[in-house]
Chain A
Amino acid sequence: MHINIEKVSHQYETKQGMLPVLKDLSLSIKRKGFTAIVGPSGCGKSTITRLVSGLIKPTQGSIFISNKKITSPLSTVGMAFQNPVLLEWRNVIKNIILPLEIVSKNMTYNQKRSNALDLLKLVGLEEFENNLPSELSGGMKQRVSLCRSLVHSPEVLILDEPFAALDAFTKEDLWDVMHKLKKERDFTCILITHDLREAVYLADQVIVLSGRPASLQYDVKTNFNEEKKISDLYSSEVSQLLATLRNQIEIAQNKND
């Protein structure tokens, strides 16, 4: 599923009047691609995720998934956020099957459970099937949240800073979990992040947005290695790329000032 964002502008109605958040943003994401979007805080990244998932409609322009214009939410999209938003009254497995209760109402519970278990094994949490979210660590919760976003086999996965609240080591573990999930479940992925290393490590395309109102500022392919390893992040090639991105972010922030 390739995604095309074409000349999208968006503004919010606020108490102080209209707030333009996106301005003439155009970008395309290839089928099965993994695109990271970075940009200054408050520039409109989460707005993009809400637009692509069909939760809100752009003020101007259109978004296409596989050449079909998005007008309302699609069940072929999965989402995960910085806040894992697990339902505390449901155990891990029941949390994961939640999307199936909406999009696959005819599926039996056992089928749902086995779908969920497959993912739970991939993220290494199969022993925690029956635990409540309050019994999990932050990293574990985020793994469960990822499983939930993938349980209905979406073709597009939208991640809004899912690892931002985790410590450095847990984060790196989850990056590898992401690699694994991507390999097993080949989906098109949009990742919003503030972490340039994360962007470079996970994505094959990194997009830098300008300050608000955001438009495309920089677009780069990062396929430096098919099988990425953490140690690759310290290669000179990657260091150079990180420096370039760092520089672009600074330009974006200045524009914002």
Chain B
Amino acid sequence: MIRINNFIIPLFSLIIFCLLWELLVWYNNWPNYKMASPSDLWPAFWKFKHLFLIYGWETFWRTVVGLILSVLVGLSLGILMGFSKTIRIGLYPILVGFNAIPKATVVPVIALIFVGMHNMNTIIIVILISFFPICVSISIGLSTLEREYEDILLSLGANKFEIFYKIALPKTLPEFFGALKVSTTLAFIGTNLMEIIEPHGKGLGHLFDSGKISADYPLMFAVLITLAVMGIFLYYIVVYLENIFAGWAIRK
């Protein structure tokens, strides 16, 4: 029953959302170029279905690879900052400052450093935009471990590594997955920033751009919806992993 509800309820809310959207456009009598309605999207999508497949895949795999790498970067930095106060104090201002820079301005810089290496450029932007929440959550999780948790193992002569993988790491997993959900959605923003600002004929960002050039508004909306669907898909993969590795923290 719970499983069915988990599926039915989101589906239901999605349908209601689309209906309201359709109604809004219909009621205001908005033309296509102002706001496309759900019923315009399907034809646009169908017309370019092979492009959606190719470009969608390009966007998807680069996002996923970037996300995996940002998990590695975020975890390593987070672990270093969680265990060493010196490293934490030293790195925080740099990381915060870095994160405050609008990534749109970093895109051309990256594109200039690695001219022509489109995949790498895109993946770098994804990493830059999504490692931060992971890094912060891990470092906070590790540095706020209550003393007693350490004491039960330390008093038996356990080493730092045993404390890390028996207690500290599993204990921060719920925070990690929370951050990973944020990072997942940020990752798509990263891919598309690169694809739209530095068009190199790849990915959904490019398809969006060509929709803009040919004033095909339903196409542009269809791209956005595809991105949203991919985001939801990836999000639920993270939820699935969370259930496996940190299911104990989820209230039934």
Using CB atoms and an 8 Å cutoff, list the residues of chain A in contact with chain B.
50, 53-55, 72-75, 77, 79, 81, 83, 85, 87-89, 98-99, 101-103, 132, 134, 148, 152
The B interface, classified by DSSP as helix, strand, loop or mixed, is: helix
Neighbour of B248 across the interface among A50, A55, A89, A148, CB < 8 A: A89
What are 16 A-B contacts with C-beta separation under 8 Å?
Answer: A53-B151, A72-B157, A73-B154, A74-B157, A77-B155, A77-B156, A85-B146, A85-B152, A87-B166, A87-B167, A89-B173, A89-B249, A102-B153, A102-B156, A102-B158, A152-B156
Q: Chain A's nearest CB lies how many Å from the CB of B233?
A: 27
Residues of B within 8 A of A99 (CB): 152, 156
What CA separation (Å) do A72 and B154 show in the bound complex? 10
Q: Chain B's nearest CB lies how many Å from the CB of A221?
A: 28
Most interface-central of B152, B153, B156 (chain A CB within 10 A):
B156
Interface assignment of B170: CB less than 8 Å from any CB of chain A: yes
- The interface bits of chain B over 3-19 (1 if a CB of A lies within 8 angstroms of the residue's CB, else 0) are 00000000000000000
What CA separation (Å) do A144 and B249 show in the bound complex? 19
**Which residues 206-234 of B sit at the A interface, judged by CB distance below 8 A?**
none
What CA separation (Å) do A54 and B249 show in the bound complex? 33
Q: Chain A's nearest CB lies how many Å from the CB of B171?
A: 7
Neighbour of B157 across the interface among A75, A132, A148, CB < 8 A: A75
Q: Are A55 and B170 in contact (CB under 8 A)?
A: no
What CA separation (Å) do A107 and B32 show in the bound complex? 71
Residues of B within 8 A of A98 (CB): 152-153, 166
Residues of A within 8 A of B158 (CB): 102
Neighbour of A73 across the interface among B157, B166, B246, B248, CB < 8 A: B157
Q: Chain A's nearest CB lies how many Å from the CB of B144?
A: 14
What CA separation (Å) do A54 and B149 show in the bound complex? 16
Residues of B within 8 A of A73 (CB): 154-157
Residues of B within 8 Å of A, CB-based: how many?
A: 20
Most interface-central of A50, A73, A89, A101 (chain B CB within 10 A):
A89
What CA separation (Å) do A148 and B152 show in the bound complex? 9
What CA separation (Å) do A77 and B151 show in the bound complex? 12
Residues of A within 8 A of B162 (CB): 102
Q: Are B248 and A134 in contact (CB under 8 A)?
A: yes
Q: Which residue of A lies closest to B149 (CB)?
A: A85
Neighbour of A55 across the interface among B154, B167, B246, B249, CB < 8 A: B154
**Which residues 153-198 of B sit at the A interface, judged by CB distance below 8 A?**
153-158, 162, 166-167, 170-171, 173
Q: Are B157 and A102 in contact (CB under 8 A)?
A: yes
Q: Which residue of B lies closest to A103 (CB)?
A: B156
Q: Chain A's nearest CB lies how many Å from the CB of B163?
A: 10
Q: Chain A's nearest CB lies how many Å from the CB of B250?
A: 10
Residues of B within 8 A of A55 (CB): 151, 154-155
Q: Chain A's nearest CB lies how many Å from the CB of B175?
A: 13
What CA separation (Å) do A152 and B151 show in the bound complex? 16
Most interface-central of A53, A85, A99 (chain B CB within 10 A):
A85
Q: Are B248 and A79 in contact (CB under 8 A)?
A: no
Q: Are A81 and B148 in contact (CB under 8 A)?
A: yes
Q: Are A87 and B155 in contact (CB under 8 A)?
A: no
What CA separation (Å) do A78 and B170 show in the bound complex? 23
Q: Which residue of B lies closest to A134 (CB)?
A: B248
Q: Chain A's nearest CB lies how many Å from the CB of B147?
A: 9
Q: Which residue of B lies closest to A133 (CB)?
A: B248
**A88-B248, A99-B152 known, 16 other contacts, Cβ within 8 Å:** A50-B151, A53-B151, A54-B155, A72-B157, A73-B155, A73-B157, A79-B152, A83-B148, A85-B148, A89-B170, A99-B156, A102-B157, A102-B162, A103-B156, A132-B248, A152-B156
Q: Chain A's nearest CB lies how many Å from the CB of B174?
A: 9
Q: Which 5 pairs between the two chains have the least Cβ-Cβ distance?
A: A89-B248, A53-B155, A85-B148, A102-B156, A73-B157
Q: Are B167 and A79 in contact (CB under 8 A)?
A: no
Q: Chain B's nearest CB lies how many Å from the CB of A148?
A: 7
What CA separation (Å) do A221 and B158 show in the bound complex? 36
What CA separation (Å) do A104 and B169 show in the bound complex? 22
Residues of B within 8 A of A54 (CB): 155
Q: Chain A's nearest CB lies how many Å from the CB of B28?
A: 50
